[in-house]
Amino acid sequence: MRLSKSFVPTLKEVPNDAVVKSHILMLRAGMIRMLSAGIYSFLPVGYKVIKKISQIIREEMDAIGGQEFHLPALNPREIWEETNRVEAFGDILFHVKNRDYVLAPTHEEIMTYHARNVLKSYKDLPQIWYQIQTKFRNEARPRSGVIRGRQFLMKDAYTFDATWEQLDIAYGLHDKAYRNIFDRCDLKYFVVGASSGAMGGTGSEEFMVKSDAGEDTVAYCEHCGYAANVEVAESKVDGKKRDDKSEDVKEISTPNVKSIDELCEFLKIDETQCAKSRVYIFESKPVLILMLGNDEVNESKLEKVLGGIIRPAHPEELKDITGADTGSIGPIGFGGRIIADLRLKDANNLYSGANKNDFHLGGIDLVRYVKDIEYADLRIVKSGESCIKCGNQLDVFTAIELGHIFKLGTKYSVAMGANFLDENGKENPLIMGSYGIGVERVMACYIEQHNDENGMIWDKALAPFQVHLLALNMKKLPVVDASEKIYNDLNNAGMEVLFDDRIDAQAGFKFNDADLLGMPVQVIVGERKLRENKVEVKIRKTGDRFDVELKDLINRIKEIMK
């Protein structure tokens, strides 16, 4: 491809609405342009990467027996009503105004629609159906460029099986295919087991990459590979040991002391002697949560323990509920359910609020004074704590979800009446799985992981072009002749070449663009080196530069690309 005739609008400056590295670089390299919030156009060079990723996905899906479909994005709403997902998706779903259509955010319903009445017998199973297709989701705050778009490409696959054992096999095949795909794309990723209660399934895993641009927080152990969303992550931490002797309860005046740190400072005690109180409302009733020291309440864990949605009590409500404001609340005299974190199990000699402003109590013994107290793991794990599995240090960081594999079970087949006859002639709902990969996310995550201060760094697998050929001065005839010949030879050798043949661009400008676009190999044709029948070759990844004789060039590049 000749740059002089192509649309590759590179930018020198960082666009001011972009903060995430991949977003900035994709805009600067002229790979994407925003059309509207969360809606992006892919320009020719960017789209080449999307096609390469799609091809890798296609090859790996075909290798596990996947059959490629192409389903419509415009769906009759009534099909989505069958599974109640018009309501479940809520504001995320785009509706088409003039007819009863929705724009599909995913395709479980449509695949099940095609499976229904067609996959009639166990003999028709198993099936793996997939597509690489556009999805629409009215995401609340689209940001980070194509990482969270309102329109995006997804590889979505769906499996139909007769038995749960077959589903395990289909799930395992996808797990393997996903690892192959992300390995081939040269992504550093890890797999997080997720509980999938709310979606009605029986098992699921998320493929994640560590990134500041991520919206999920995960705990990860480099040593044993333990990985979990912080919503469910656990760690090994000591609790407060029960002292042999319980002191008497004493009321202490603590004027203006609100936080645990202020209490420790005021009484010259350690935070591990304090029980922090938090009040939540569950089913219109207050629940007091006790945490050791500065531990934070993990609201997802709490919702799981209580079995429903909670909300923190408003500051205005606290006085009515406890008799005190935030900072002076505690377990003794609290009229309601009390749940303490496991680190406080059977603890004594604790300090906590007195349910009276500006007073705290010491000598609290949870066994003696807090009847009916319950215990549960309610903490948010922190970086540096010990891994629950192997005891090594946990790292807590934000991450981006690249893909998701999911044992759906029979949720959709039951809702839509998609049944088959088993070996005994008995009618059963199809057993399903669903498996997604965000194609643009793969590209953005690759860029997040492979860049430097000058731009992107592509490897062979995803590079839009293998070679970036720079003719430094297209006004000099020898340079024109030599670079035209190299361009032809490289093309004939089957390589993809981006040829900077622009006449008016300065050499420095061409160098900057080449580094920004980041093709693996740069071939630099200049007048001076040509006099010795040489060109300069630069490896983008390492920055190595060396001269190569013209006659050796093609073979040399072939070698490098191996």
Q: Does 137 bind ligand ATP (CB under 6 A)?
A: yes
Element (H, E) at 374: strand 374-376
Instruction: Give the interface segment with ligand ATP, choosing from 149-157, 221-229, 292-300, 309-317 (CB under 6 A).
Output: 149-157
Q: Residues 402, 457, 519, 535: which binds ligand ATP (CB under 6 A)?
A: 402
CB of 127 to ligand ATP, least distance (A): 20
Nearest to 39 by CA among 179, 174, 145, 183: 145
Q: Does 154 bind ligand ATP (CB under 6 A)?
A: yes
CB of 151 to ligand ATP, least distance (A): 8
CB of 63 to ligand ATP, least distance (A): 20
For ligand ATP, the closer CB: 157 or 288 = 157
Instruction: Give the interface segment with ligand ATP, choosing from 276-284, 364-372, 381-389, 401-409 (CB under 6 A).
Output: 401-409
Instruction: Give the interface segment with ligand ATP, choosing from 147-155, 240-248, 372-380, 530-538 (CB under 6 A).
Output: 147-155
Q: Residues of 291-323 as b/e, b for ≥16 C-beta within 10 angstroms?
A: bbbebebbbbbbebbbeeebeebeeeebeebbb
Helices (H) and strands (E) in the chain, counts: 16, 33
Residues 6+ apart with CB under 8 A from 537: 521, 522, 523, 524, 545, 546, 547, 548, 553, 556, 557, 560
Distance CA 159, CA 138 (A): 27
For ligand ATP, the closer CB: 462 or 486 = 462
Three-class secondary structure assignment of 102-131:
EECCCCHHHHHHHHCCCCCEHHHCCEEEEE
Interactions with ligand ATP, residue window 98-127 (CB under 6 A): 106
Q: What are the DSSP E strand ranges found in 419-496? A: 419-421, 427-429, 431-438, 451-452, 455-456, 467-471
Distance CA 82, CA 354 (A): 54
Question: How is residue 214 written in tokens?
Answer: 């991520």
Q: Residues 139, 377, 422, 536: which binds ligand ATP (CB under 6 A)?
A: 139
Instruction: Give the interface segment with ligand ATP, choosing from 260-268, 283-291, 398-406, 505-513 (CB under 6 A).
Output: 398-406
Interactions with ligand ATP, residue window 411-470 (CB under 6 A): 436-438, 440-441
For ligand ATP, the closer CB: 134 or 294 = 134
Q: Residues of 410-432 as b/e, b for ≥16 C-beta within 10 angstroms?
A: bbbbebbebbbeeeeeeeebbbb
Q: Does 148 bind ligand ATP (CB under 6 A)?
A: yes
CB of 73 to ligand ATP, least distance (A): 14
CB of 415 to ligand ATP, least distance (A): 18
Instruction: Give the interface segment with ligand ATP, choosing from 10-18, 146-154, 220-228, 271-279 (CB under 6 A).
Output: 146-154
Which amino acid is residue 543, in one-letter code? G
Q: Count of CB atoms within 10 A of residue 248's CB?
A: 7
Q: Does 536 bind ligand ATP (CB under 6 A)?
A: no
Q: Does 214 bind ligand ATP (CB under 6 A)?
A: no
Binding interface with ligand ATP (CB under 6 A): 106, 137, 139, 148-149, 152, 154, 401-404, 436-438, 440-441
